[in-house]
Amino acid sequence: MSQSAQKQSMAALGKVAVLMGGASSERDISLMSGKGVLQALLSQGVDAHAFDPAQRDLSELKREGFARCFIALHGRFGEDGTVQGALELMGIPYTGSGVMASAIAIDKVMTKRIWLSENIPTPRYSLLRRGDLSAEKIAVVPATLGLPVIVKPAREGSSIGVTKVQSAAEMAAAVESAGQLDADILCEQFIAGDEVTCPVLGSGDDARALPVIRIQAPEGKYDYQNKYFTDDTQYLVPCGLPAGEEEAIQRIVLDAYNVLGCRGWARVDVMIEATTRKPYLLEINTSPGMTGHSLVPMSARAAGISYEALCVQLLASASLDTRGGHA
């Protein structure tokens, strides 16, 4: 594409707001993602501007003539359908999934219920609710799911509030920790084996799974610190899985994405059980990270898509539920 043609193409995207920051517990990561996206879009000639919904009213987007939004918000009030609903009302196309898919995907329990109804494998689980936490109910969880068990808030990301419980005596503290962040506490069967993640780009029949990334974290702890602030975690892409496994994971991830009605992009986290080699889907992120440690850009790069090209591609896919298509 000639330089003048590229300028015209970028100009056609209009005035763009990169939504970053926000009010969730993942605010700091969102700011890192948003700044990366903003810099990438500006480098490609897009008329892009930072916009922090925690500091400015969303109605200013309409008043200031923004044509579309790149959502680089993570967690609640950004990845959960709330911002998407506001943008729908204002008629401003946005990146990523629509209202319903965003609202379902942020809730790990609702996501599991739908996946299980469609025979998509996910670890067994129990749901506890803050305010109804008797010692008896807590004790039933490890007895039912076995140990270790994973305890986490139902609607948080970035491994915030997640505890790997090794003994029944540790359950109460883990439940209390998760309960401080969410009224719904997800207790999940622990799957020992390879930890992988697989991004998806596109919508409907055009959606495709990107290369699988295998994650090797220090002592197997892929927590908040090892995700974003150390260089000790290893990311293998090509993933080096046995023949056929990567393709099988890509197929099931694509099914999981489409079953929820996702569009634009997402990333699905998967555990592969060590002895059976069966994949179990943990969760789906509909507004994945775009930081220097983030996995979607890493996988896209392995597929020949640069960070800048990925940002432009996602922005160009911005759409509205109510229009049933792209802007």
For residue 67, what are its two tokens?
Answer: 């044509």
For residue 324, what are its two tokens?
Answer: 């049933």
Q: What residues have CB less than 8 Å from 66, skipping those under 6 apart? A: 14, 15, 16, 17, 49, 51, 92
What is the set of active-site residues? 26, 158, 228, 267, 269, 283, 285, 289
In a 13 Å sphere around the CA of 119, the CA atoms on its Cβ side amount to: 0
Integer Cα distance of 35 and 216 in angstroms: 27
Q: What residues have CB less than 8 Å from 7, skipping those under 6 apart? A: 45
Q: Phi/psi at 168 (nearest 5 deg)?
A: -60, -30
Integer Cα distance of 40 and 37 in angstroms: 5
Check: CB of residue 115 under 8 Å from CB of residue 281: yes
Integer Cα distance of 241 and 213 in angstroms: 10
